[in-house]
Amino acid sequence: MIDCIRTALTKVRKDKFQTMARNTIESTCPVCNKTYTRFQGTRQRCCSYSCARLQPIGIRIENSIIKESNGCWVWTKCIDESGYGVSWRDGRKIAAHRASWEYYNSPLQDGEWVLHKCDNRPCVNPDHLFIGNALDNAQDKISKGRGQGKLTPDQVRAIRSDPRASRKVAPEFRTSKTTILQIRRRLLYDWVD
């Protein structure tokens, strides 16, 4: 039975690969200007992974979003556990909505948070973003009815006294690692003793 599925899968992959191999097109890498062949229909824009990592953030954003009718630019690449887009800039990981804000507006200072007006976490449209601090972020969450309010004071105390890493604790409380960290740093639920 398992072997059957495996054979079938291998065949599907083989067929797919052969179809793709027939439809290769010549492209120019936007980073190193080399000509390379890529499969038609893929979203690949660079000749190699190392070039892709060095891709200018503006091009990267353009290539990673779908512009929806409500104006949201929804991130289609990697999404983190809290639902925000993840991008790369100068070879380092960065939250996509922060990268977008910095690219279209100005560099962020320490302690500045980029918040969503549209409450759509994978959205990176700079017009849907605004700057706030950690407190604004917490208040924003309450006003939008998520995050705070979901946990009871007892749960908050349990989170704070739990010696385990936040990423281990998060799934048990059906929340994100970031929320656990903020609870522990008293950026959230500071009213619970």
| Footprint of Zn ion (CB under 5 A) | 29, 31-32, 47, 51, 72, 118, 120, 123, 125, 128
The owner of tokens 């495996």 is: 6
Cβ 129 to Zn ion shortest distance, Å: 8
Please give the C-alpha separations between residue 167 and each of 42, 47, 182, in angstroms, as whole numbers: 34, 35, 12
- We find the least distance from the C-beta atom of residue 40 to Zn ion, in angstroms, to be 19
Nearest to 125 by CA among 40, 62, 43, 47: 62
| CA separation, residue 70 to residues 65, 96, 117, 126, 127 (Å) | 14, 19, 12, 14, 12
Closest CB 70 distance from Zn ion, rounded Å: 7
Q: Which is nearer to Zn ion, 45 or 89 (CB)?
A: 45
Torsion of CA 97, 72, 141, 145, to 10 degrees: -160
Q: Which is nearer to Zn ion, 85 or 147 (CB)?
A: 85
Q: How far apart are CA 95 and CA 164, in angstroms?
A: 25
Nearest approach in angstroms of CB 123 to Zn ion is: 3
d(CA 9, CA 178): 38
Q: State the minimum distance, in angstroms, from the CB of residue 41 to Zn ion.
A: 20
**Does the CA dihedral 76-55-29-17 come out positive or negative?**
negative
**Smaller CB distance to Zn ion: residue 120 or 179?**
120
Which class for 70: exposed (0-12), middle (13-18), buried (19 or more C-beta within 10 A)? exposed
Q: Cβ closer to Zn ion: 87 or 166?
A: 87
- Pick the closer one to Zn ion by CB: 98 or 128: 128
Q: Which is nearer to Zn ion, 50 or 133 (CB)?
A: 50
Least gap, CB of 72 to Zn ion (angstroms): 3
